[in-house]
Amino acid sequence: MQIETLYSTDKYIVINKPFGLLSDENLVEGYLPCHRLDRETSGCLVLAKNETTKELIQVEFKKREVKKTYIVLVYGNIRKTVLKVFGSDSDDFVINAPVQRNPIAKVKFAIVKDGRDSVTEFKINDVIEVSENNVLSLLTCFPKTGRTHQIRVHLSSIGHPVYGDKMYAGEKRSFEGREELGRMFLHSSAIEFTDPYTNELISVNCPLPQHLQEFLNNLK
């Protein structure tokens, strides 16, 4: 499979990871992943040419200095939930809830009282009434921490799992989305970090894959 390179230097590259591949697979020969995206998440992924560069970039992730942006489609009218749960009619909201591996269903992650600090900022872009009983919401997400499944768990916790997410939306609810897309609707659309060698601010964007964009266009 041809992997699209979005940005490159002699020390690292940023690729557009296709959905369906693991981040730690040998996506580009000779390069090491500096962070991870879920198997079904596409978009910006930073790969390092050597261990030294990998460690330098990972320091930025650990210090929460990397700005990550995701586009996600979720089930339901999230504006109603934000008003009910947060008492706000703003399109901007934050979920600050600790995430840890689910103590019962080990394959999943969940909000757990003593879990790891997890913060995600959200912006509501659109609420789409597909039909009388079918409403979807389009969001931009800005995870401030990098916990496994963080965005998916945070959204599921307020009743709005990612469209097509079999694990957190359930098999029945996600069936139609998976039939249409073959995946969940979650895409890493931008990443911003500092080049560890030049101190230059690197900003990389990655548009929605064509099949996600076409699906979105057909909803409206």
Q: Is residue 56 classed as helix, strand or coil in its secondary structure?
A: helix
For residue 152, what are the contacts with CB-CB under 8 A and spacing of at least 6?
38, 109, 161, 162, 165, 167, 168, 184, 186
Structure tokens at 176: 């139609």
Active-site residue numbers?
38
Contact of 116 with 99, CB cutoff 8 Å: yes
Q: What is the CA radius of gyration of the chain?
A: 17
Alpha-carbon distance 77 to 137, whole Å? 6
Q: Is residue 11 classed as helix, strand or coil in its secondary structure?
A: coil
Torsion sign, CA atoms 70, 2, 209, 183: negative
- State CA 44 to chain mean position distance: 10
